[in-house]
A and B are shown apart, each in its own frame.
Chain A
């Protein structure tokens, strides 16, 4: 789920940081620059891990700041495709189920990747898994917002975001997410955590249920 990314940058340390040590001001500036931001094809940056190399500092004519080349490692949220994650349902819509991790919101489980058969309940604004029972009836399993959900990451998409215009001017502010994840829950074991807590399996096999009996303790 989290990885370390090695990066290289030239950091401009303005004179108001000169009272601090160089490494301290560099880490402050790196965190200010990257924390909570998506870097194209890297992922969502969380926090600085360490600085591996600090090069020489340069001063350019006409600029009182010092420019330092640094190599550093950053903690990045970048789930691997096929990874299993646990999130919370943010909302349901006709497009599918929107999932949030708390710090990352742009996760969608599209309609074709939900458990089969599922239907969208307009009244409750929630997806419902129509779980077939043995007697031919179906058991409705609602996917309400706020519930914990286990899903598999199936693909990721990065999008280059152009800078927006100055505040006030309504010049085509695009509202696309820079980094989106697509998930799926159409496998046994995936979906709301509560669906799979019961000891009996949906395959209908006669497993001995005693060894996973402890799981019901909640």
Chain B
């Protein structure tokens, strides 16, 4: 076996969740379960179910990414914001490197506002 490109694209938690859920439904239909695949999909889905991607949709992620374009964030920072939406200034400081220099206080507030708009916190 050979690896052509170890990192050809990033996947958000939401995308992985969707693919795995589909896979789970398909294998259940055929009554055939491959041991290790079943284990890893079950465990991964169980982990992802507890994360925010449970309440996300491709639409709101797209709109969110569109709206944060102006902040000059890196791809990885945006990915982390989708996977673990920051709701406090502290969380933005963790995700964005040297956030104090790159983002003004107003911009940080704007990002938190956008996060709350597109990924509303579930009440439970």
Interface residues of B in 1-26 (CB under 8 A from A): 1-13, 15-16, 19-20, 23
Chain B residue numbers with a CB within 8 Å of A2 are 10-13, 15-16
Contact residues in A for B63 (Cβ distance below 8 Å): none
Kindly state the separation between the CA atoms of A80 and B12 in the bound complex, as whole angstroms.
Answer: 13
Contact with A along B71-92 (1 / 0, CB 8 A): 0000010001001100110110
Q: A4 an interface residue at 8 Å Cβ cutoff?
A: yes
* A13 CB–B CB distance under 8 Å: no
A9 to B80, CA, bound (A): 32
The reply to whether A5 and B51 contact each other, CB–CB distance below 8 Å, is no
Among B1, B19, B20, B43, contact of A102 (Cβ-Cβ < 8 Å): B43
In-complex Cβ contact of B40 among A5, A9, A36, A211 (8 A):
A36
A75 with B90, Cβ < 8 A, contacts A8-B4, A9-B2, A86-B51 known:
no
Known: A3-B10, A7-B1. A37 touches B94 (CB 8 A): no
Instruction: Report the interface size for chain A: residues with CB under 8 A from the other chain.
Output: 50
The interface size of chain B toward A, counting residues with CB under 8 Å, comes to: 44
A-B contact pairs, 29 of them (CB 8 A): A1-B13, A1-B83, A2-B16, A3-B6, A4-B8, A4-B9, A5-B5, A5-B7, A6-B3, A6-B6, A8-B4, A32-B34, A35-B34, A39-B3, A41-B6, A46-B41, A47-B23, A47-B40, A49-B19, A75-B11, A75-B19, A76-B6, A82-B76, A103-B40, A103-B43, A150-B94, A189-B88, A189-B90, A215-B88
Chain A contacts to B: CB under 8 angstroms: 1-9, 28, 31-32, 35-37, 39, 41-43, 46-47, 49, 71, 73, 75-78, 80, 82-86, 101-103, 150, 152, 187-190, 196, 201, 211-212, 214-215, 217
